[in-house]
Amino acid sequence: MADVIDLSPLLCEPDAAEMLLRARGQLNVAFRKHGLFCPDPLPLSDLFHVEPAESDDPAASGMVKARARYKAAFDTWATAMPVRLAQPVLELLRQTHEALAAQCDASETARTAVMRAHAFLASRADRATGGTAGE
pLDDT in tens, 66-116: 999 888 889 999 999 999 999 999 999 999 999 998 988 878 899 999 999
69 inside domain: yes
133 inside domain: no
pLDDT of residue 24: 95
- Please tell me whether residue 33 adopts helix, strand or coil conformation: helix
What pTM was computed for the model? 0.87
Judged against a pLDDT cut of 80, whether residue 134 lies above it is answered with no
Around Cβ 62, how many Cβ atoms within 10 Å?
13
Judged against a pLDDT cut of 80, whether residue 1 lies above it is answered with no
135 inside domain: no
Domain count, the chain: 1
- Structural domain harbouring 83: 4-128
Handedness of CA 115, 90, 122, 124 (dihedral sign): positive
Give backbone dihedrals phi and psi of 5, rounded to 5 degrees, phi first: -105, 125
22 inside domain: yes
**Mean pLDDT for the chain overall:** 89
- Please tell me whether residue 77 adopts helix, strand or coil conformation: helix
Judged against a pLDDT cut of 90, whether residue 133 lies above it is answered with no
